[in-house]
Amino acid sequence: NNQIKVAIVGYGNLGRGVELSILKNPDISLVAVFSRRDPKSVTTINTPVFSLDNILDYKDKVDVLILCGGSKDDLPIQGPLFAEHFNIVDSYDNHAKIPEYFENVDKSCQKNKKIGMISVGWDPGMFSINRLYGEALLPDGDTYTFWGKGLSQGHSDAIRRVNGVKAGVQYTIPSNDAITKVRSGVRPTLSTKDKHTRECFVVLNDDADAKKVENEIKTMPNYFEPYDTTVNFISQEEFDKNHNTMPHGGFVIRSGKSSDSVNQVIEYALKLDSNPEFTASVLVAYARATHKMALKGEFGAKTVFDVAPILLSSKSPIQLVKELL
Ligand code: NDP
C-alpha cells in the first residue's frame, strides 16, 4: 500500500473537514484522529479516535500529521510540540504572530529533521500565494485583499455579548463600490473600513429593547463603530433556518502597470459555502506535498511559498504537463 498515511489532531470543524476531504483523495489514507477529549465522546464519520496522550506510539505509522486545533490557544503549543516527532501541516492564521510561530516550529523541526508546514489554508494560504504572484509579476502596482461575504466568528461573539441578544451572527461583505474602483485599474487608497461593510442578524430576548441593542452594536468600538453596519432583527426560526452554515470567501486583486500607460489587473476569487471544508481541502493537498518534500530529505519550518505547485497534485509531472500546461 503506497498511500500517504495521515492523522488528524483535534476534531472540530476543520478536523471534520479534513476527514471529508481525504474521502476525495484516493492516494491518501486517514489512519487516526487524536483528541484531547475522551475518545468515546468524539464521533467521527468512520475514523478511529485515540487519546492525544498516546500519539507518540504512532510515530512510525503516520507520514503527516494535520493539526486542526485553534490558532489562538491550541497551535502555539501543539505545533512546536508535535513538529519534533512528526511532519506537520497546520492552518495557523494569527497573521501578526506568524514570524514568531515559524521560529518556534522551526526549532522543533531541526531536532529530528521534520517538516513543519505552517499557515496553510486560504488566508493565510492561497491568498498569500496570489499576493506574492501579483507583486512579483507586476512590481509597479498595488495589492487589494477583500474578505466576504463571510461569517466572522469574532464579530458574531461580540454581538452575542450585548445585553438582550439571544442569538446573533455577523457577515463581512466586500463593498461593491470599492471592488468596482479597484477592478477599473485606478488604484485607490482604501482602508479595511472602506473595503467592507458589516451585516448583523440578531434574535432578541423577549424583554429586550431593539433600538438600544441596535445602537449598542453599531457604536461598539473597533468591532462595528468604524464600519457601515446594518442590524436586522429576525425570529429564532429564521435564524436556525438561514444562518447555520459557515460561508466565506473573498478576492485578491493586483492592479499595476507594465509600462507608463498600460494597466494590468489580476484577480483571484473564492466563494466558499463552507470555510472549514475548503481550508481542510487545502491542508490535505499540502499534506501530500509535505510528504513528497520529506521523501526528498527536506526539513524545517515551511510555508505555502516554499511549495512547488507540482507537489500538490497526485498526478505525475508528465501527466500534468500533458493535461494542464
Ligand atoms: P473548532 O473550535 O471547531 O475546533 C478547535 C478544537 O477544539 C478542535 O481541534 C478540538 O480539539 C476542540 N473541540 C472541537 N469541538 C469541541 C467540542 N464539542 N468540545 C470540546 N472541544 C472541542 O475550530 P475550527 O475547526 O473551526 O477552526 C480551527 C482553526 O482553523 C481556527 O482557529 C483558525 O485559526 C483556523 N482557520 C484557518 C484558516 C486559514 O485560511 N488559514 C481558515 C479557517 C480556519 P480536541 O479534539 O483535541 O478537543
Chain-centroid distance, C-alpha 112: 28
Alpha-carbon dihedral sign for residues 193, 195, 196, 197: positive
pLDDT at residue 222 in the model: 86
The pLDDT, as a whole number, for residue 281 is 98
> What SS3 class is residue 157?
helix
**Amino acid, res. 316:** S
Q: Which atom of ligand 1 is nearest to the CA of 91?
A: 41
The residue nearest atom 9 of ligand 1, judged by CA position, is: 10
pLDDT digits (tens, 9 = 90+) for 91-129: 999 999 999 999 999 999 999 999 999 999 999 999 999
Residue 13 Cα, ligand 1 centroid: separation in angstroms? 6
C-alpha cell at 157: 461573539
Q: Which atom of ligand 1 is nearest to the CA of 123?
A: 40
The ranges of the chain with pLDDT < 70 are: none
Give the integer Cα–Cα distance in Å for 313 and 324: 11
Which of ligand 1's atoms lies nearest the C-alpha of 120? 41
Q: Given this model, what pLDDT does residue 309 score?
A: 98
pLDDT of residue 154: 85
CA atoms in the 13 A half-sphere facing the CB of 203: 13
**What is the identity of the amino acid at 221?**
P
Quote the ligand 1 centre to 11 CA distance (angstroms): 7
Q: Which helix (H) or strand (E) holds 67?
A: strand 64-67
Q: What is the helix, strand, coil percentage profile of the chain, to 5?
A: 40, 25, 35
